[in-house]
Amino acid sequence: MSAERGIRLDGKVAVVTGAGRSLGRAYAIALAAAGAAVVVNDVDAESANGTVAEIESAGGRAVAVIAPVGPTETADRLVAAAIENFGRIDVMVANAGVLRDRVVWKMSDDDFDLVIETHLRGSFTCARAAAVAMRTQEQGGRIVLIGSPAGQFGSFGQTNYATAKAGLVAMARTLALELARAHVTANAVIPTALSPMTATIPAYTEVYEDYVAGKGIPEEYRRDHALGSPEDVAALIVWLASDASADVTGQAIGIGGDRLTLYSHPAVLETRDSAGGWTPDGIDAVWHDDLAASAQHSGPPAKD
């Protein structure tokens, strides 16, 4: 366990949800390697305790809180654990998530609700609990929400997941506005890394299986698909948690493999005015004669 040279988190305390495995585990370990004490959250006690054991074996400090994110009670427990065990909270990384992929005509209420409850409500309750504590401390703080390319571009079969992830980017931008006077930053990280979730994408299943088997990640996937390991993403988490990023807030920043990406905020593409308002026929004419040329397609950009 080694930290990026020059970027340190000594004396800081972080909470990472969904930190028992995969990306969340990498985030927790990297934060600890940089000097932070870490509250490790997961619904699975064995995996959460495994992350804690790895951090402690490398000389770091960590405790586990076993609970599902979503309920306010869990968020309050996580912040309380940080304060009771380490004296404060400086960083909240809302990472926990689940998948229930179905095309919309097959997606049940339960499929939708569980994903929204975990990703969107869970991030909200954790961010709110952290914001309350950070404002009370009056020493600033960092809130990091975890988005996805699905939330940026849409994703077939993931109405629930894409909706939650798009909402998290808007949440980060709003929190950035509301918490600016308290010197608390809020940003969304858009990771692209090999994980059990990535393995559900047919194009990446074999790459993931090879990665798990220790065969490494082919250069073309790191370069052209921005697809790397969880540890690649953890570097951005550490930087956003640090004092070095104190002036960075309200941003959606992607990372994966060899690529770092800054996403744009939504912007107006075109406007047209019609004195007295619009009729359906008028809209049809201006759309087909003019605006259609500027319309953007749904879905991720094509690979080069």
What is the structure's pLDDT at 5? 60
The whole-number mean pLDDT for each consecutive block of 10 residues of the chain, a chain of 304 residues, reads 71 98 97 98 98 98 98 98 98 95 96 97 98 98 97 94 97 98 98 85 87 90 92 97 98 96 94 96 96 86 58
- CA geometry: angle 113, 119, 124, nearest 5 deg: 105
For residue 72, the tally of other CB atoms under 10 A from its CB is 13
Q: Is 195 a catalytic residue?
A: no
Candidates 161, 208, 211, 221; catalytic one: 161
Evaluate whether residue 284 is within a structural domain.
no
Q: Is 165 a catalytic residue?
A: yes
Q: Any idea how long the chain is?
A: 304
Residue owning tokens 């990640």: 217
Rounded Cα distance, 155 and 146, in Å:
16
CA distances from 226 to 142, 194, 212, 265 (A): 25, 10, 18, 21
Question: How many structural domains is the chain composed of?
Answer: 1
What is the structure's pLDDT at 180? 98
Indicate which CATH number applies to the domain containing 236. 3.40.50.720
pTM: 0.92
Evaluate whether residue 51 is within a structural domain.
yes
What is the structure's pLDDT at 3? 46
What is the structure's pLDDT at 4? 44
Of 148, 143, 135, the closest CA to residue 186 belongs to: 143
Q: What strands, in cross-sheet order, belong to the sheet with 62-66?
A: 62-66, 37-42, 13-16, 91-94, 141-146, 184-191, 252-256, 259-262
Nearby residues of 161 by Cβ (< 8 Å), 6 or more positions away: 97, 99, 100, 101, 115, 119, 148, 150, 151, 155
Candidates 47, 123, 148, 245; catalytic one: 148
Domain residues for the domain of 85 are: 13-262
Candidates 165, 195, 204, 245; catalytic one: 165
Evaluate whether residue 281 is within a structural domain.
no
Q: Is 148 a catalytic residue?
A: yes
What is the structure's pLDDT at 198? 81
Segment (H or E) for 188: strand 184-191
Q: How far apart are the first and last CA of the chain?
A: 36
Give yes or no for a contact between 228 and 22, defined as CB atoms under 8 angstroms apart.
no
CA atoms within 13 A on the CB side of 301: 7
Evaluate whether residue 68 is within a structural domain.
yes
Evaluate whether residue 207 is within a structural domain.
yes
Evaluate whether residue 293 is within a structural domain.
no
Evaluate whether residue 296 is within a structural domain.
no
Evaluate whether residue 274 is within a structural domain.
no
Nearby residues of 222 by Cβ (< 8 Å), 6 or more positions away: 228, 257, 258
